[in-house]
């Protein structure tokens, strides 16, 4: 039997792990990886939120009170610890099989992980004390912030910079496809944007922005901008940049694995106001 030319990618958008936020969805993500058995798993970055190193908040401000580097690192590493305890265990279980499933795992560092690098660059006293080596991601191939990675004709990056500046390319998917020029996928921006175009060559190029895979609210987005899409994305029939898209929301994953509506689950496990998850 010949090997299929098509592959499956599973994309994990920004998980923004930090102290004090719920992480129930981490095990849902890991179980989905097992259930959908992708050839490649790509985390598009910003797993580590690193609020203790934020340059957006003034030292001594209410939001930085009690923030600690060690706690941020521990919260970030929890995602990969949970993932490895589920997916890593399954990979080991199957390893005796000749046709064992063992996905490639790619982790693209985002601008929040880059806060660690930037802190060292801005103040040399931190050199050797803090660093990216504190972020543990066993079994994952890591790429530096903003490095692009081509996988089966899809170019992945945390985000794509304008050729004329350091800032991220924004706007519509059509605008991004015109400027990036290839099938692409990025994180960084909350929610999900997707579109495709057929070019005169007959080639279909796809653009995907998926930048939120967490349950909590982000204060900086304000009261009106919290109800964005949250989930993971499966790309089926991937070949030479073409694919069929299958988004899976955290609401769907909760119903699949907890047999409960997401709002009901959160109110039961974490009493509080979760109206942004409707």
Beta carbons of 246 and 234 less than 8 angstroms apart? yes
For the segment 136-154, the average pLDDT, to the nearest whole number, is 97
Cα angle 176-182-183, degrees, rounded to a multiple of 5:
85
Residues 250 and 215: their CA atoms lie apart, in Å, by 8
Domains of the chain: 7-277 (3.60.21.10)
pLDDT digits (tens, 9 = 90+) for 147-160: 999 999 999 999 99
Q: Express each pLDDT in 158-186 by its tens digit.
A: 999 998 888 899 999 999 999 999 999 99
Pairing of strands 204-210, 242-249: unpaired
Give the tens place of pLDDT for each residue, 203-258: 999 999 999 999 998 877 666 777 899 999 999 999 999 999 999 999 999 999 99
């Amino acid at each position: 039997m010949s090997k299929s030319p098509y592959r499956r990618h599973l994309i994990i958008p920004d998980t923004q792990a930090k102290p004090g936020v719920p992480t129930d969805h981490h095990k849902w993500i890991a179980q989905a990886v097992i259930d959908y058995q992708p050839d490649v798993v790509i985390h598009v970055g910003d797993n580590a939120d690193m609020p203790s190193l934020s340059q957006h908040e003034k030292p001594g401000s209410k939001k930085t009170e009690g923030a600690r580097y060690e706690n941020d690192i521990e919260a970030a590493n929890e995602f990969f610890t949970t993932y490895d305890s589920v997916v890593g265990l399954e990979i080991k279980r199957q390893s005796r099989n000749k046709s064992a499933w063992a996905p490639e795992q790619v982790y693209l560092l985002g601008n929040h992980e880059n806060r660690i690098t930037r802190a060292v660059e801005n103040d040399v006293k931190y050199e050797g004390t803090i660093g990216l080596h504190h972020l543990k991601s066993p079994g994952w191939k890591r790429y530096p912030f903003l490095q692009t990675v081509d996988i089966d004709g899809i170019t992945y990056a945390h985000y794509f910079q304008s050729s004329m500046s350091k800032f991220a390319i924004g706007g519509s998917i059509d605008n991004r496809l015109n400027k990036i020029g290839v099938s692409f996928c990025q994180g960084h921006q909350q929610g999900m944007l997707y579109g495709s175009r057929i070019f005169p060559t007959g080639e279909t190029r796809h653009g995907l922005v998926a930048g939120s895979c967490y349950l909590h609210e982000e204060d900086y987005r304000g009261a009106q901008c919290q109800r964005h899409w949250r989930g993971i994305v499966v790309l089926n029939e991937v070949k030479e940049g073409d694919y069929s898209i299958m988004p899976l929301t955290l609401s769907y994953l909760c119903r699949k694995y907890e047999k409960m509506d997401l709002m009901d689950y959160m109110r039961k496990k974490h009493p509080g106001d979760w109206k942004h998850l409707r």
